[in-house]
């Protein structure tokens, strides 16, 4: 089905918008025309999360209760002692399946009798592992021996003997029905989690899932016995089909893609495996870029900006460092029509909603400090904190947040499993070297002045110089620092000619004797 421009006006339901090219896939999840999440996958940097490898133990570190495993990636993968083997009694498999990349390792209970890692694995040993968290920055991938294989309706866990049901399925009668069906068809000594999208599914649909997952697992086992390490045993679907498998649900009104070839592939996939969703697939045919048309490009620009404007006229300033992310709330242009305290409350309430939106959109993780505008009334601080917590409940990532302090600070942590948007799309600035600041024009000119002083005091003082510099700095020198310019010429008792070019780095200059 082709998308008509008249069909795209105002949608209140969920939409999945896919921009597919040969080298890159971009997917945006929209809720009522608001961009909630954005995912990227590039052909040369495909995600390895979910892939299963035959690895070789490089180094065991008893003091850190961990090991480094060669799985064939640029950096060795990290394996923690708790992830080396699966003890069924240690896994709460009645867990929420709505996690990034459909990883379903369950929540771990503390093991009072944790074994020493040296007794579990040795250097040089081959081991089957699965990537649970991709490489981020300078860190290698995080891996586990607790293998999970996601299907459409089920998640297969070959090392667990149990059946769990997603917590998102809250109807007790339906939970019992699903558990009973899966328990009756699963092979002995295997485990499955029933996913949220499996609500009201038939036994036949579960049988198809079980058959597919078992076949996939047996193929991985066969490769493990025959392949030399390091080797890949199972590769998960690309971003497009992972999204369809994991996120296509009854509340999705439209699945829109701009590539004809991929559209036909998805059409066949849906007709074969998910025929009741075939009607949501649409091919975008507009002249403008699909991301431009849906306003996603604008949201991307906001997500890449340090300053984020609020509808009220206030703004957020988001600064990310290696250790933490600091978010500052400002009233900006918003003055309000009531009391000063009411104006601050409105700004802080709006900020709480936008902050969570930006955390999800940018996929910011780690320690986060939020500096709300100071509020005198304790009940106002409670309102803002309650709004923040309610918004965080909508976030799939695990978060922990402490109450707002008397000076308006909130400390929180957020877990992420992939490179955040800013670090994925950007690289280190060769100009500022990560400081996000460069020298001012005046500072550069005084540095030039000091260099000329050194030349003038040398054994062979120059008489005439050619000064090469950025055109903006040259303009500043001739207008704002004309007296400094004359002082430079007096130092050498000659003339200084300017050679300007925008090709010069802003802070770069060259002095040549004529």
Give the pLDDT confidence of 458-502 residue by residue, as tens digits.
888 898 999 999 999 999 999 999 999 999 999 999 999 999 988
Residue from 93, 67, 100 nearest 82 by CA: 67
Name the fold adopted by 2-45+241-296: Nucleotidyltransferase; domain 5 (3.30.420)
Q: In this predicted structure, what is the pLDDT of residue 396?
A: 82
Domain with CATH 3.40.1260.20 in the chain: 441-513
In angstroms, what is the C-alpha Rg of the chain?
29
Would you place residue 376 in the very low, low, confident or very high pLDDT band (cuts 50, 70, 90)? confident
185 vs 115, more confident: 185
Tell whether the torsion through CA atoms of 150, 155, 156 and 157 is positive or negative: positive
Q: Following CA atoms 248, 251, 256, 261 in sequence, which dihedral angle do they give, to the nearest 10 degrees?
A: 30
Overall average pLDDT of the 311-328 stretch: 88
Would you place residue 230 in the very low, low, confident or very high pLDDT band (cuts 50, 70, 90)? very high
Please say if the pLDDT value at position 113 is more than 70: no
Please say if the pLDDT value at position 318 is more than 90: yes
Please say if the pLDDT value at position 67 is more than 80: yes
1 vs 188, more confident: 188
- Report how far residue 336's alpha carbon sits from residue 149's, in angstroms, rounded to the nearest whole number: 53
DSSP state of 136: B
> Which class does domain 52-237 fall in?
mainly beta
- Report how far residue 512's alpha carbon sits from residue 514's, in angstroms, rounded to the nearest whole number: 6
Among residues of the chain, what percentage have pLDDT more than 70?
A: 89
47 vs 174, more confident: 174
- Report how far residue 325's alpha carbon sits from residue 416's, in angstroms, rounded to the nearest whole number: 13
- Report how far residue 162's alpha carbon sits from residue 183's, in angstroms, rounded to the nearest whole number: 8
- Report how far residue 161's alpha carbon sits from residue 188's, in angstroms, rounded to the nearest whole number: 7
Domain with CATH 2.40.50.140 in the chain: 52-237
Token pair in block for residue 400: 């922990």
Please say if the pLDDT value at position 102 is more than 50: no
Give the pLDDT confidence of 261-315 residue by residue, as tens digits.
999 999 999 998 888 899 999 999 988 889 999 999 988 888 888 899 998 888 9
Overall average pLDDT of the 219-233 stretch: 94
Q: In this predicted structure, what is the pLDDT of residue 331?
A: 80
- Report how far residue 53's alpha carbon sits from residue 43's, in angstroms, rounded to the nearest whole number: 20
Burial zone of 120 (CB within 10 Å; 0-12 exposed, 13-18 middle, 19+ buried): middle
What would the 3-class secondary structure string for 386-454 be?
A: HHHHHHHCCCCCCEEECCCCCCCEEEEEECCCCCCHHHHHCCCCCCCCCCCCCCCHHHHHHHHHHHHHH
Overall average pLDDT of the 422-426 stretch: 76
Contacts of 330 (CB under 8 A, 6+ apart): 314, 315, 316, 317, 347, 373
Give the pLDDT confidence of 199-218 residue by residue, as tens digits.
888 888 899 889 999 999 99
Averaged pLDDT of the chain: 85
Domain with CATH 3.30.420 in the chain: 2-45+241-296
Q: Ramachandran region of residue 316, left (φ > 0), alpha (ψ -120 to 50) or beta?
A: beta
DSSP state of 85: S
Name the fold adopted by 441-513: Hypothetical Protein Ychn; Chain: A, (3.40.1260)
* This prediction's pTM: 0.73
Would you place residue 70 in the very low, low, confident or very high pLDDT band (cuts 50, 70, 90)? very high
Q: In this predicted structure, what is the pLDDT of residue 417?
A: 66
Contacts of 97 (CB under 8 A, 6+ apart): 104, 155, 166, 168, 193, 195, 196
Overall average pLDDT of the 449-457 stretch: 91
């Amino acid at each position: 089905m082709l998308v008509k421009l008249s069909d795209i006006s105002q949608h209140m339901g969920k939409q999945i918008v896919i921009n597919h090219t040969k080298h890159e896939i971009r997917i945006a999840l929209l809720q009522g025309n608001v961009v909630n999440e954005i995912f990227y996958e590039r052909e040369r940097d495909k995600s390895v999360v979910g892939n299963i490898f035959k690895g070789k133990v490089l180094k065991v570190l008893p003091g850190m209760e961990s090991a480094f495993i060669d799985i064939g990636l640029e950096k060795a993968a990290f394996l923690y002692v708790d992830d080396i083997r699966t003890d069924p009694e240690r896994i709460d498999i009645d867990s929420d399946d709505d996690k990034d990349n459909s990883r379903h390792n369950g929540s771990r209970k503390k093991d009072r009798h944790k074994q020493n890692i040296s007794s579990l694995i040795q250097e040089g040993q081959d081991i089957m592992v699965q990537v649970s968290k991709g490489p981020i920055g300078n860190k290698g991938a995080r891996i586990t021996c607790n293998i999970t294989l996601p299907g459409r309706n089920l998640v297969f866990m070959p090392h667990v003997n149990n059946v769990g049901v997603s917590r998102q399925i809250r109807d007790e009668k339906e939970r019992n029905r699903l558990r009973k069906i899966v328990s009756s068809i699963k092979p002995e000594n295997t485990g499955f989690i029933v996913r949220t999208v499996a609500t009201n599914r038939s036994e036949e649909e579960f049988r198809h899932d079980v058959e597919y997952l078992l076949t996939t697992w047996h193929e991985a086992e066969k490769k493990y016995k025959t392949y030399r390490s390091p080797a890949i045993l199972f590769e998960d679907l690309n971003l497009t089909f992972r999204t369809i498998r994991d996120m296509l649900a009854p509340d999705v009104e439209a699945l829109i893609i701009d590539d004809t070839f991929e559209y036909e592939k998805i059409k066949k996939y849906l007709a074969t495996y998910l025929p009741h969703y075939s009607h949501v697939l649409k091919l975008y045919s507009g002249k403008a870029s699909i991301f431009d048309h849906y306003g996603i490009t604008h949201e991307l620009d906001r997500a890449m900006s340090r300053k984020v404007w609020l509808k009220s006229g206030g703004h957020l300033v988001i600064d990310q460092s290696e250790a933490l992310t600091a978010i500052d709330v400002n009233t900006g242009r918003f003055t309000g029509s009531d009391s000063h305290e009411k104006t601050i409350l409105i700004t802080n309430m709006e900020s709480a909603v936008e902050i969570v939106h930006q955390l999800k959109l940018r996929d910011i993780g780690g320690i986060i400090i939020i500096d709300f505008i100071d509020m005198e009334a304790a009940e106002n601080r409670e309102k803002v904190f309650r709004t923040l917590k309610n918004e965080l409940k909508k976030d799939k990532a695990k978060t922990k947040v402490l109450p707002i302090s008397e000076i308006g600070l909130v400390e929180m942590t957020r877990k992420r499993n992939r490179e955040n948007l800013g670090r994925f799309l950007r690289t280190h600035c060769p100009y500022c070297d990560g400081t996000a600041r460069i020298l001012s024009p005046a500072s550069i000119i005084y540095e030039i002045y000091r260099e000329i002083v050194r030349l003038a005091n040398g054994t062979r003082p120059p008489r005439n110089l050619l000064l090469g510099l950025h055109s903006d700095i040259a303009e500043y020198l001739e207008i704002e620092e004309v007296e400094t310019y004359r002082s430079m010429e007096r130092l050498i008792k000659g003339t200084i000619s300017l050679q300007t070019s925008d090709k010069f780095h802003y802070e770069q200059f060259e002095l040549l004797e004529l």
